[in-house]
Each structure stands twice: as structure tokens, then as C-alpha cells.
Amino acid sequence: MKKLVILISGRGSNMEAIVRAAIPGAKIAAVIANKPTAAGLAFARAHGIEAEVVDHTAYADRDAFDNALAIAIDRHEPDLVVLAGFMRVLGDAFVRRYEGRMINIHPSLLPSFPGLHTHRKAIESGVRLHGATVHFVTPTLDCGPIIAQAAVPVGADDTEASLAAKVLVQEHVIYPQAVRWFVEGRLRVEGNRVTVIDADLPSDGWMVPLPDA
């Protein structure tokens, strides 16, 4: 059984998608939020998952917060740390501690649009395809080896909100899928490239839905 700790900051819909996927061989040991108001905590508790808060405002600086978070995580001895809408930048030492066993979802087709406001940036830049990326976390923000991506078309009438909603639907598909591949030991990382052994998405870790799907 592979143990997972999921980190959230708010709504937690990606965490919810991973919980609902009920991945064989995966046990969600804990959900940890950096905000006591994170809505996803209630969902986790309602599903019998240990849910706790490491409130970043209670710590003097990033290192102190990172240390407290690492202690909370390590208590569960996880095989995989899953960042699911976790909105704190983590320090290099923290990232290195979990290198190869910490993954993130980012709402853009990386390497386009790292950082915040990805949907606005996609609309402003005029791209025709936007999407989401699941990747291993490395010290450079939103830059680690890519495990899975899903693309959605950007329509002429799309707003930041409509695009976010379309992308979120795909996030909920590729994130549980990527977690499952990790749990099944099917991800091989060489440099910046991830090979999915016997991938069961249409191709090796990507999908593009039809425009009105």
C-alpha cells in the first residue's frame, strides 16, 4: 500500500477527485492545509481522512513554516506528497527533501504560463489551446518533469472563469490518473522526461478533448 499526503489551500476539488478515484493500492494518510479556512478540510474529514492545518501565518518565515510542514507530513511516512491547489511557494530544502516523490498540478500547458493568473495570460496571449499539467516538483517553480497534460480549446468567447472551469474538468481527469501511475510504479524519470510504462491514456500521458466535450 502506497501512502499519500495531499496538501491543499482552499476548495480542494483536485484532492476530492483523487479521493473519489479510490485508487487501488493507495491510502490517503492525511490532508494538510496551510489555511484553517480551506474548504477541502471538511470533505476530507467527512471521508474519514485525517485532516490537519499547518497555518503559515503562525510562522516567522518560510523556513520555519517549511520545517513545521515537513514534520506534519513525515509523521505519516508518505510515499507520495500531492500538491493539490497548494498556494505556498516551498523552499529549495523542502523541495529537495521530497524530490521524486512530490507532484503538483498547474493550470496551464507548461512551460507556458508558470505562476499565477494562467487563464488570463492564456486569453491575453491569444493561444488557441490551454490546459493543465501534472509534474514532479523541482526547486524551480512550475518547472519539473511533466507526467501528464490535457488541453482544452480557447474559444473566442471564453472568459477567465469559463476557461478555468473547462481546465478544471480536465485537471480532475489527469491528476487521479497521474497519481495512479505513480502508485503503480509506472513512471520512469530520465532528466526532464517522464516515461509512462504502458500508459492507458490515448497516448503517453496526454489528452485533448473534442471542442464540445
7 strand-pairing partners? 32, 83
* Residue 62 in marked binding region: yes
Residue 70 CA to residue 16 CA, distance in Å, equals 22
Amino acid symbol at 55: D
Longest CA–CA separation in the chain, Å: 49
Q: Which residue's C-alpha cell is 509523521?
A: 75
Q: Which residue's C-alpha cell is 499519500?
A: 4
Q: DSSP secondary-structure letter at 91?
A: P
* Residue 88 in marked binding region: no
Choice from 98, 171, 187, 206 touching ligand GRF (CB under 6 A): 171
Judged by CB under 6 A, the stretch of 44-52, 70-78, 93-101, 102-110 that binds ligand GRF is 102-110
Residue 169 CA to residue 42 CA, distance in Å, equals 21
Q: Is 106 a catalytic residue?
A: yes
Choice from 90, 105, 122, 152 touching ligand GRF (CB under 6 A): 105
- Among the listed residues 106, 130, 135, 172, the single catalytic one is 106
Q: Contact at 8 Å (CB) between 112 and 149? A: no
168 binds ligand GRF (CB under 6 A): yes
Q: How far is the CB of 192 from ligand GRF (least distance, A)?
A: 20
- Residue ranges of the alpha helices (H) in the chain? 13-21, 40-46, 62-74, 92-97, 118-125, 160-183
84 binds ligand GRF (CB under 6 A): yes
Residues 2-41 that bind ligand GRF (CB under 6 A): 8, 10-14
Q: How far is the CB of 37 from ligand GRF (least distance, A)?
A: 12
Residue 34 CA to residue 10 CA, distance in Å, equals 9
Choice from 78, 85, 131, 176 touching ligand GRF (CB under 6 A): 85
The set of catalytic residues is: 106
Residues contributing to the site for ligand GRF (CB under 6 A): 8, 10-14, 84-85, 105-107, 168, 171
